[in-house]
Amino acid sequence: MRTLYLECNMGVAGDMLTAALAGLFEDPSEAVKELNRLGIPKVRYRLEPVVKCGIQGLQIRVLIEGHEEGVHEKQIGSQESHNAHDHHHTSMKEIKDIVNALSVSESVKQNALSVYQLIAEAESKVHGQTVEEIHFHEVGSMDAVADVVAVCYLIERLKVERIIASPVRVGYGQVHCAHGILPVPAPAVSVLTEGIPVYSGNLEGEFCTPTGAALLKYFVSEFGEMPVLRVVKTGYGMGKKEFEAANCVRAMLAEEEQETRIIELCCNLDDMIPENIGFITELLMKEGALDVYTTNIQMKKNRPGILLTCMCKEADRAKFLTLIFKHTTTLGIREYDCKRYGLKRKIETVQTPYGDVHYKYASGYGVEKSKPEYEDIAAIARKTGNSLENIKSDIEKLR
C-alpha cells in the first residue's frame, strides 16, 4: 500500500506541507511548475532550497502579484508581520468560485473545498456565526488558497492510498491576528484538532495553523508512531523561522509492509464426528476465512478433542460466529485480536517448455521469495508423468 507518513514534530502549516510533498517528486522543480499552471489568480509558487540544522530541505514561497503575503497562516515558519494584503476578507462563495475555475481534476476541487468547509465550520463555531456569514481573514487570503490547492493536487499526483501523521506540536503563548491577540493554539486550531493527538512542546509560538490543521484533519486517517514502512522517498518542508530544532515537516513516501489486524475465533470440540469437522473447515474457507485449522487437544475428563481456529477479518466477525455456532456443537467461542505481518505479493505468468506456469512472488522486510503455483505443476506432472520436484527444478533452471 502506497503510504505517506507526516512527521509534525515542529507543527504543520500549509506552505511547509506543500514543500515537503514537492520534495517527494523526482524533480521538485517540475512539480512546482505544474502548480504554477493550475490557474490560481495572481498566484505564483517559488521553490527555494534551504538548510536548517545541517538538513537540506525545500521552502515554498507564494507570491501574489509578485509580493509575498505576511499573514497568520505563515506564523509557524515565517512569523512575518502583517501588511496591506492581510485585510482582504474572503467568503466561502468566493473560495468556491476560485477553486471551481482551476485547471485541476474534480477530485482535487472537491478535496480543496472540503478542507475549506472544515475551516469554515471551525470559524463558525468560534465566532458564533453561520458558515454563510463567515468571511475568512488569514486563511481566506490567496496564499492560503494556494497552499490548500497545492497540497490537494500533490497528494493526488503522488497516488497516495493512506496517510498517517505523528502527534502534532501546537506550541503555546499568544499570536497576533486579524481579531487581535489570541492564545496559542488559536481557537480555530483548537476546534480543528479535536480528536487529533496534540502537545504544546517546549518552544513558545504558533506551530500549527488553521490551514495545516484542516489539511491533517481531512487527509490523515491515523495519528501515531510510524508503523513498519519501506520508505522510498523523503521530503523536508522548511519553515522560515529559526529554532534550535530543525523547523520542518518531514514527509516520507513509503510502501507499507503488509500489516493488518485480524481476529482468531476458537472453540473446543469433543463431541463431533470427523466428517462434520471436515465440513465446517471447508465451509469456513469457502466463505472467505483467511485460514482455518484444527489442533488435537486433551479436554476435561481426559477426553481427546479438537481445537477449531478460524482466522478472519474483523469486519467478518459476525458472519463466522454464526457459521461456527450453526455447524458445530460448541456453546462458546473465544476471540483473540492479532496483528498479521505479511510480504507484498504478486503473481506473474512464466513461459516454460511445459507451457505457461503462474509464479508467486513475495517481498518485504528485506526478503524475497518465489515459487510456482502448485496446481500448475501438478497438472504438468499428471500430463507428463514426471515428478513435481523435477518439474520445479527444470523450470527454475530456465528462469
DSSP 207-243: -B-HHHHHHHHHH-SEESS--SEEEEEEEEEE-SS--
* Cα gap 269→295, rounded to integer Å: 10
Binning pLDDT at 50, 70 and 90, where does residue 76 land? very low
Q: Which residue has the higher pLDDT, 144 or 149?
A: 149
Q: Over the chain, what is the mean pLDDT?
A: 87
Within 10 A of 72 (CB to CB), how many other CB atoms are there?
Answer: 28
* Cα gap 379→142, rounded to integer Å: 66
Lowest mean pLDDT across 87-96, 302-311, 325-334: 87-96
Checking DSSP bridges between strand 291-298 and strand 248-256, what pairing results, if any?
A: unpaired
Q: What is the pLDDT of residue 138?
A: 46
Q: What is the pLDDT of residue 347?
A: 85
Lowest mean pLDDT across 52-61, 69-78, 337-346: 69-78
Residue 71 has pLDDT above 50, yes or no: no
Amino acid type, 126: V
Residue 74 has pLDDT above 80, yes or no: no
Specify the pTM: 0.64
Cis peptide bond N-terminal to 185, omega within 30: yes
Q: What is the pLDDT of residue 89?
A: 52
Return the C-alpha cell found at 313: 477479518
What is the SS3 assignment for 260? strand
Amino acid type, 236: Y
- Residue 336 contacts residue 266 (beta carbons within 8 Å): yes
* Cα gap 56→40, rounded to integer Å: 29
For the chain, what percent of residues have pLDDT higher than 70? 89
In this structure, what are the phi and psi dihedrals at residue 95, rounded to the nearest 5 degrees? -60, -45
DSSP alpha helix (H) spans, the chain? 14-22, 28-36, 92-100, 106-127, 142-157, 187-192, 210-219, 274-286, 317-327, 374-384, 388-398
Q: What is the pLDDT of residue 394?
A: 85
* Cα gap 285→221, rounded to integer Å: 31
* Cα gap 228→205, rounded to integer Å: 32
Q: pLDDT tens across 208-223, in order?
A: 999 999 999 999 999 9
Q: What is the pLDDT of residue 129?
A: 67
Lowest mean pLDDT across 81-85, 118-122, 292-296: 81-85
**Residues 223-227: contacts with CB within 8 Å, 24+ apart?**
223/164, 223/165, 223/166, 223/167, 223/168, 223/196, 223/197, 224/164, 224/166, 224/167, 224/197, 225/166, 226/5, 226/7, 226/164, 226/166, 226/252, 227/5, 227/164, 227/256, 227/257, 227/259
Q: What is the pLDDT of residue 83?
A: 38
Q: Is 294 exposed, middle or buried (0-12, 13-18, 19+ CB in 10 A)?
A: middle
Quote the DSSP letter at residue 204. Answer: -
What is the SS3 assignment for 107? helix
Lowest mean pLDDT across 74-78, 95-99, 241-245: 74-78
Mean pLDDT of 305-310: 97
Question: What is the set of domains in the chain, with CATH numbers?
Answer: 2-256 (no CATH), 259-340 (3.30.70.1380), 344-398 (no CATH)
**Distance between terminal CA atoms of the chain?**
28
Binning pLDDT at 50, 70 and 90, where does residue 80 land? very low
Residue 132 has pLDDT above 90, yes or no: no
Amino acid type, 359: Y
Q: Which residue has the cell 524475497?
A: 368
Q: What is the pLDDT of residue 258?
A: 62
In this structure, what are the phi and psi dihedrals at residue 364, rounded to the nearest 5 degrees? 140, 160
Mean pLDDT of 250-278: 89
